[in-house]
Amino acid sequence: MQPHLLITGASGLLGHALLQEARGPWRVFAMYRNHRPEATGALCLQADLTDEYQMIQVLDQAQPQVVIHAAAAAQTGFCRDHPRQSAQINVHASARLAALCAHRGIDLVFTSTDLVFDGRRAPYDETRAVRPLSVYAEQKGQAEN
């Protein structure tokens, strides 16, 4: 039986790139909210990441062994102008997805951003303290924890 892979944010920049590379032994499920991705060979699932019930349905349908969480409200202007709404996506929904995956024994790959660092002392790795300079970066830093 093929292992199942779920990619959230499959219509975004990173999610789409991951979707194009996710071949080989995987049966791929591409989750999106508004814009159905070009996903040859993948099953597309439309869901709202902020709706826990919809996320449970997606996990029930996909039965993934691995989730790559690439969904985010990544536009810095949107995050600045709508911090509560963007935090629902970038922080709270990410935490709920992590909890759902942990409860089901699903491996979760969380994608963050180099913007959690201030740009002063590159290169960075996961041991460096974050110094976000924008609301988006701050939210991604919170989601990492």
pLDDT in tens, 48-72: 999 999 999 999 999 999 999 999 9
pLDDT band with cut points at 50, 70 and 90 for residue 76 = very high
Tell me, what's the pLDDT at 95?
Answer: 96
28, 73, 83, 26: which is closest to 48 by C-alpha? 73
For residue 7, pLDDT beyond 90 = yes
pTM of the complete model: 0.91
The residues facing 46 across adjacent strands are: 32
Residue type, 59: L
Check whether 18 has a pLDDT greater than 80.
yes
Say if residues 136 and 73 touch (Cβ distance below 8 Å). Answer: yes
Give the integer Cα–Cα distance in Å for 43 and 17.
16
41/124 Cα distance (integer angstroms): 35
| Residue showing tokens 């409200």 | 73
Nearest to 27 by CA among 39, 36, 12, 15: 39
Number of domains in the chain: 1
Stated as kind and residue range, the H or E segment containing 107 is strand 107-110
How sure is the predictor about 132, in pLDDT bands with cuts at 50, 70 and 90? confident
Cβ proximity of 59 and 98 under 8 Å: no
Predicted confidence (pLDDT) at residue 34 exceeds the cutoff of 80: yes
Burial class (CB in 10 A: 0-12, 13-18, 19+), 64: buried
Domain containing 66: what range? 4-144
Mean pLDDT score, 112-132: 83
**Per-residue pLDDT at 39 exceeds 80:** no
- Whether the predicted pLDDT of 47 surpasses 90: yes
107 near 67, Cβ under 8 Å?
Answer: yes
